Structure 1
Amino acid sequence: MIFIEAGSRSLRSFDAQLIFAEQLAARGFTACIDAEYLPENAGRGRVYEAARFLVDPAEHQAETIFVLGAEDIDDLLLASLRHKQLGPDVPVIATGRFLTQQSYVGAKARLAYALGREATVIDLTDFQPRSVLPSAISPLVADVRTTPRPTREMPNVTVVLGSMELDNPETLPCLSRMSNRGGYNLRLIVSGAQNEVINASPFHDLPTNLYTDLSSLTLANSTDILVMFGHGIAGVRMAAFAVELIAAGGVAIDCTDDEALVSSGAPVLLGPKTPFSLDGYLTGKILGNTSQIAEQARMSQWLHTVDISRLESAAGLTHETREPVRNTQRTLFFPTNGVGLGHAQRCAVIANTLPDDMSSVFAAFPSCVPLVRREGIDCIPLVSRIDMTDNPDGNDILTYRRLRAALQENDSLVFDGGHVFDSVYRVILERSLSAVWVRRGLWPDGRSRQTMLRRESVFDRVIVPSEAFEELNDAYSYGDHVHYVGPVFRQVVQSADERDALRARLAERFGREFKQLVVSMLGGGVASDRSAQLQAISGMFEDRTDCLHLVVTWPGSKVQPATFGWTNTRVVQTFEATSLCLAADLVISAAGYNSVLEILYHKIPAILIPQSAPYLDNQERRARALADRDLCAIITEKDLMKLERTVSDCLDHDEVEFYRSALDRIELPEAGASRAAEIIAEVRHGK
């Protein structure tokens, strides 16, 4: 294992450690960083990036030590080296940019004092006479690609704004026109202050990343054309990004005021100093000529100075090529973060419709694992979400680690959810996955489309399972990548004999005969608390001695203890809720997507009580669409006093027959699971 150390501890040095660790990992080496190096103010992006490299040094044996920034060695580094008690056979390599011979000798002496022997010290000033960022602690090396880079149908153009001020009122409209023109995909790399200006403007839908959102290597792998503005290069991460991109055969355009890239001798193009001429420059001179430009760049002697293999040779490292863990490609379904039972059920319906030659697996939270495995699908369990006030991203970082370990390059990821989490976003880009977003609609009022859609571009396809009625199908984004399919839900077939047999089993199990069976499905309290409604409903049935009331929830759901105190009410935790609903005389349900579709397509008379929470879809709007067609009764939060009368009308005055008759007449769209599976298969095969 290669430990990456730093001469002194700061955000600058930690960035250098992260950059170099990822480069070594990409080359097949096992690199790590002592967890003590993680700064308190590392920021969200760095923590994700560091998660797979941070280790407790007491648990690992160092095989090689790399020290970055040896021109500035502090006592913490010397203590770290002494504490490791390295054997004489463990190589110690230090890199630095030394201004004088005296500083070089001084660094060697300090290292020798801590180690008790000489270390190999490499002066990067000699190694790279014209560095793109002479002050960088990072060696700023890269894996130089000698073969042509694969071309994308739509090139990805990344624009680093650098120190550019956004006070010119024409700058953001210009960038917005570029983002919407077609011919290339635009992404902006911005500072926190620039991001605030953009978000507060009418052009808040511009695709932006902060400097630390993604690693330099990930940015380089997902970019075809790099454009740099501002004065100088905006820090070591952007310098490493530029070096990685050029070495990989991408096109770099220097639009900086001081021509920082050009002056280093790097094979880059000199571009316009402002964004106003950039679109014409790209369309007139760059797009369509990228292969020829890259071919010319590959002949540059500058590439020799950034070749990581030279540093490896000087350090005595032997390049290792890692074989893929699997020879088969995998399609992994990830049904949202948190609980996600409804998402998991929808994904399972689609997965069971995939072609036989597609290997699928799930990554899901413990609540969903039994549901998935009972469908005969393998499932990787994730860690349940817990409240983490010190680190609110802690759970998603664990999810990111699990997803990254389960997927390798060219696998497929199918994500079903509303918000695209960092774990999903990062693993798609880092593993170069073909990705599909199964995205439900009916977003509640006030939910920011900008926030929800800003990561849509990482998905090859967006599948939108439709609602049963057209007025509920809102469009949130447009393009050939967005595919609307019919409703996706679980279908159950139950004959009259099976219905009678199920009712008889229920009577035997609960030790009481009944004439009427009522099923309540209001959720397990995860999305919103429905204990008051459940208690009210249970109280209504207490005087109905010929009625059995079942409170049906997912296995593992929380149920208020008071629910168990009623004589005519029983709690049932099951994955077979639809079968119970088919056997019931009346169903009282929330108005979630899955529940409503199962009620409609199985023609089940129901009373709908919409749930409400900031992160739920608009259940009241969905329920009203059914009630307006006389397909169900609806009880909103404001109408709770009408609940008892509505139940009485259904059970005592044949209101259920009225709804059943309307359900029999209604025409519904064709189910969409098969079409969704076809789209996933097309993405999987690159169509």
Structure 2
Amino acid sequence: MFKPLHLDVVIAADPRRDGGGAEALAAIVPWLAAQDRRVTLLPVLSPLVQLAPRVDPRIADLVDDGRLTWFCTSRPAVARLGIGLHLSPFLGEADKAVRLRSDRAVLLVDQSWHTARHHAVCPFHVICDRASRMLGALPALVPLARDIHLPSASDETVVPCTPDDRGPVWAAALQHLLRQVPPPERKPILNRGSLVAPARILMLSPNGIGMGHLTRQLAIARHLPPEVEPVFIGMSRAVGLVERFGFRAEYAPGPHALGVDKDRWTDDFSRRLIDAMGFYDARALVFDGNFPYHALRRLRAEVDNRTMIWLRRGLWRPNAGREALERSPIFDLVIEPTDFAGEMDAGPTRARSDAVPVPPIILLDPSEHLSRDEARRALGLPKEATAVLVQLGSGNNFDMATVARHCLDMLAGYSDVHVRVVQWLIAEDEDDLCAAYDHRMRRLRGYPLARFLDAFDFAVSAAGYNSFHELLTARLPTIFVPNEHPLMDEQETRALFAERLGAGFFVRAGDPGRLHWALTKLLDRGERDLARRRAGSLSEPSGAARAASMIALHALSIVAHRGAARFPRHLARW
């Protein structure tokens, strides 16, 4: 049996974007920290907040700087003080038990009861009962402001306080309670020999043409808090790469790899997903792909008490994906990693309001790149050479080998130029294009290659989501050659954006003359310096951290919708 975790102050609140609620939480936590109290957040998703999937930025900042930590629901805990912030976390029955016992508890009331929007749909005694069970003690009642009238209650339930005109009511009330419950003598660390089971999530990715889906999920996983453990289920042979980053992975081949028809595969894969959700006790599933499988619809029907999230990047081709978008309702949340070229997006996702946008997502922060000298030593590149990176994708659905050969043929004529041609780990064609050239032209394999970007002077690249954003973020002048297969995203738009920005050139695969011209331009140092300055106008991507924050919210939260009255949309805050 686990010994309880000893905590100081636990606040049960809905941390999503919620006007006054976030404002109150953002005020109370620093105030408590100033009293030398350690604060833990027990996140509760309330039925009163219908359409706000994100953590309020002010609350996210408190988590980032360590003044607020997540409550781990897998462990019993004892707190000196339990605080219920507002009535909204207690309007519905929690979807799982909270093993928390508090020495004292208080319920901070944000609205006069008889004028509150939730008065008609939830009796006050029910709210008090739920708050008592969640906080582990009968809560006293305190108004957040002087003009809030509490429900009828005995004197014993209200915290005695005499607020003055200089501060809020809650501050005086909490000050009174804190004097009664001194902080623990030791930090809230685990007892020796005890374990904490993190909240697990499944990260599902298809067998894409490249490795973009898997890479985006890995980028997010690296930003998840330690209380959340991702388990990767991937259809790509490359899924095992995530183990290098310390994550668990399962290979789940698709119908083509197994040699079975889609109906048979759908039946088997549906059962595998359902079993995986149960085996790992996953709180959420995150799917990054262009088309939600029928197996996901079956999963939704089987595990409707778990969160399903679609990570859906934009820049779809104008007439593509209608059927895929019709399956959006099976997801509780759609997160859209935005695109540097998003202003030019003419696809069907642009007009939709069902997605929550986050900044672009990349795997490695530029601070994680090797220095220029370190990267050149690792790649065997001379210090003074002009180094060119050629990364044109896997070539599994669009012939880029001809483009690579054109690059090698031209650049081989410059004695001070060294080229590294990337061979994708999932490429079906394993021919070494560099074998016909001298030592200056070599094949490059590995993952993640972004750590070597500072070694190069310019690049020739496909315009897939990850490569495009990595190269522009690294300010590496690039000739973008889009993969124009009709099932791909609209890479031509990204290439055109880079050219209009002045950070690169747009060259089609079938235009060797323009490719020769663009290579000549970037062999000039002055042209490269100009392109770097233009790329510097773009903001650095922070989407991985934002998306991780949203996903962690759903994985760690108590969902208090069960048994809740359905709130009319005009009564809900969002």
TM-score past 0.5 threshold: yes
TM-aligned CA deviation for residue 674 of structure 1 = 1.6
Q: Distance in 1 between matches of 2:435 and 2:494?
A: 31
Structure 2 partner of 1:505 = 378
Give runs of aligned pairs for residues 487-526 of structure 1, distance below 5 A.
487-493=360-366, 498-507=371-380, 515-526=385-396
Q: Does 1:616 align with 2:488?
A: yes
Higher helix share: 1
Structure 1 partner of 2:310 = 437
TM-score (norm 2): 0.58
* Amino acid aligned to 2:361: V
Which shows bigger deviation, 453-462 or 561-570? 561-570
TM-aligned CA deviation for residue 504 of structure 1 = 2.8
* Amino acid aligned to 1:657: D
Give runs of aligned pairs for residues 395-474 of structure 1, distance below 5 A.
395-408=265-278, 411-432=283-304, 433-449=306-322, 451-472=323-344
Aligned-pair Cα RMSD in Å: 3.2
Closer, same or farther: CA 579–571 of 1 in aligned 2, 3 Å: same
TM-aligned CA deviation for residue 427 of structure 1 = 1.7
Closer, same or farther: CA 648–395 of 1 in aligned 2, 3 Å: farther
TM-aligned CA deviation for residue 410 of structure 1 = 6.4
1:494-529 Cα offsets, whole Å, 9 max, x none, are: 699831132133337xxx786111110101112422
Q: Distance in 1 between matches of 2:442 and 2:268?
A: 38
- Identical residues among aligned pairs (%): 26
Out of 585, 601, 604, the position equivalent to 2:476 is 604
Q: Could you say which structure has the greater relative contact order, defined with CA pairs below 8 angstroms and 6 or more residues apart?
A: 2
1:517-568 Cα offsets, whole Å, 9 max, x none, are: 1110101112422111111111112222222111113324233344422223
Closer, same or farther: CA 533–477 of 1 in aligned 2, 3 Å: closer
TM-aligned CA deviation for residue 581 of structure 1 = 2.2
Q: Does 1:370 align with 2:240?
A: yes
Closer, same or farther: CA 406–371 of 1 in aligned 2, 3 Å: same
Structure 1 partner of 2:565 = none
Q: Does 1:354 align with 2:224?
A: yes
Out of 351, 357, 368, the position equivalent to 1:484 is 357
Is the Cα contact below 8 Å between 1:460 and 1:683 reproduced in 2?
no
* Amino acid aligned to 2:276: A
Q: Distance in 2 between matches of 1:608 and 1:572?
A: 19
Q: Distance in 2 between matches of 1:328 and 1:587?
A: 41
TM-score (norm 1): 0.49
Give runs of aligned pairs for residues 190-229 of structure 1, distance below 5 A.
none
Is the Cα contact below 8 Å between 1:334 and 1:364 reproduced in 2?
yes
Is the Cα contact below 8 Å between 1:386 and 1:395 reproduced in 2?
no
TM-aligned CA deviation for residue 653 of structure 1 = 5.8
1:59-107 Cα offsets, whole Å, 9 max, x none, are: xxxxxxxxxxxxxxxxxxxxxxxxxxxxxxxxxxxxxxxxxxxxxxxxx
Q: Does 1:580 align with 2:431?
A: no
Q: Distance in 1 between matches of 2:514 and 2:447?
A: 30
Unmatched runs of 5 consecutive residues or more in structure 1: 1-151, 155-181, 183-287, 290-325
Q: Does 1:537 align with 2:410?
A: no
Closer, same or farther: CA 366–443 of 1 in aligned 2, 3 Å: closer
Closer, same or farther: CA 678–492 of 1 in aligned 2, 3 Å: closer
Is the Cα contact below 8 Å between 1:341 and 1:367 reproduced in 2?
no
* Amino acid aligned to 2:425: P
Q: Distance in 1 between matches of 2:264 and 2:401?
A: 31
Aligned residues: 364
Is the Cα contact below 8 Å between 1:534 and 1:563 reproduced in 2?
no
* Amino acid aligned to 1:487: P
Give runs of aligned pairs for residues 150-299 of structure 1, distance below 5 A.
none
Out of 185, 202, 212, the position equivalent to 1:332 is 202
Q: Distance in 2 between matches of 1:389 and 1:376?
A: 31
Is the Cα contact below 8 Å between 2:362 and 2:541 reproduced in 1?
no
Closer, same or farther: CA 478–414 of 1 in aligned 2, 3 Å: farther
* Amino acid aligned to 1:445: P
Is the Cα contact below 8 Å between 1:410 and 1:434 reproduced in 2?
no
Q: Distance in 2 between matches of 1:597 and 1:617?
A: 14
TM-aligned CA deviation for residue 423 of structure 1 = 2.0
Which shows bigger deviation, 551-560 or 429-438? 551-560
Is the Cα contact below 8 Å between 2:206 and 2:236 reproduced in 1?
no
SS at match of 1:637: coil
1:338-382 Cα offsets, whole Å, 9 max, x none, are: 566211111011112122211221101353323211111111121
TM-aligned CA deviation for residue 679 of structure 1 = 1.4
* Amino acid aligned to 1:502: A
Is the Cα contact below 8 Å between 2:255 and 2:262 reproduced in 1?
no
SS at match of 2:202: strand
Q: Does 1:548 align with 2:418?
A: yes
Is the Cα contact below 8 Å between 2:338 and 2:360 reproduced in 1?
yes
Is the Cα contact below 8 Å between 1:588 and 1:608 reproduced in 2?
yes
SS at match of 1:354: coil
Is the Cα contact below 8 Å between 1:519 and 1:588 reproduced in 2?
yes
Closer, same or farther: CA 543–349 of 1 in aligned 2, 3 Å: same
Closer, same or farther: CA 475–445 of 1 in aligned 2, 3 Å: closer
